[in-house]
Amino acid sequence: KNTTRDILINEGFELDYLDVVNQQDLSPWTPGQPGVILAAVLLDKIRLIDNIKI
């Protein structure tokens, strides 16, 4: 299954932000803990942000 990030990259959009953080408090991710990938892409003047659980 393609993530939103994969789809955006395949469509030629450039991600301007990508980070992995802990799901609970958004601190830097600790391996083994529930986390989310925060990804943002600039589309014209609209910034799309997606949280992808890992």
State the chain's mean pLDDT as an integer: 76
The pLDDT assigned to 4 comes to: 67
Instruction: Tell me the CA distances in angstroms from 17 to 32, 36, 51, one per residue in order.
Output: 23, 13, 12
Average pLDDT over residues 3-17: 71
Domain assignments of the chain as residue spans, ordered by start: 4-53
Average pLDDT over residues 16-45: 82
Average pLDDT over residues 30-36: 88
The pLDDT assigned to 26 comes to: 84
Cβ–Cβ under 8 Å, residues 18 and 37 = yes
In whole angstroms, what is the distance from residue 18 CA to residue 35 CA? 13
Average pLDDT over residues 24-47: 81
In whole angstroms, what is the distance from residue 31 CA to residue 16 CA? 24
pTM comes to 0.49
CATH of 4-53, one of 3.30.1300.10, 3.20.20.70, 3.30.565.10, 2.40.128.20: 3.30.1300.10
